[in-house]
Amino acid sequence: MHLAQLNIAKAKYALDAPEIKEFVDNLDVVNTIAEQSEGFIWRLQDESGDATSIQAFDDPNLIINMSVWQDADALKNFMFRTYHRDFMRRKSEWFEKLSQDSYVLWWVPEGVTPSVEEAIERLQHLRENGDTPYAFTFKSNFSADESEIFIKALG
């Protein structure tokens, strides 16, 4: 099993605004670091190489990021031990604070690419039910085995 993640962010500005230019200008760099990180499997992208033009929500300022990793440690290493960390620290400059969970983790079978619709459904499940083996955050970090057992029990 591999770990899938979705995170969403609501931009304070249009993506072509000067106030968010530094973030946008570094997407390629951060995405390249992700792809070269140990444990990286896949990431959602459009023709331009990122996912900023993929409209998953009615609100055009809500952007998504989705990827698959070998495990939670691989994802955490990328998030907190690379250049990506610097942008996470500055997210309040470019993005609004959301009142609900803005990211979700779940396990997918090896070789399976999750859909945006599935990812949004997992996020909604997390928001409605809290952390479960079906949809969780780093706070719980359920194992792949726990998730498989839980999903089988759901039928």
Say what the pLDDT of residue 86 is. 87
Identify the domain containing residue 23 by its residue range: 2-154
What's the rounded Cα separation, in Å, for the pair 28 and 36?
12
Query: For position 133, which CATH number holds?
Result: 3.30.70.100
Per-residue pLDDT of the chain (155 residues; tens, 9 = 90+): 999 999 999 999 998 999 999 998 998 899 999 999 999 999 998 887 778 878 898 998 899 999 999 999 999 999 989 888 888 888 999 999 999 999 999 999 999 999 999 999 999 999 999 999 999 999 997 888 888 888 788 76
φ/ψ bin of 117: left (φ > 0), alpha (ψ from -120 to 50), beta (otherwise): alpha
Our count of domains for the chain comes to 1
Say what the pLDDT of residue 44 is. 95
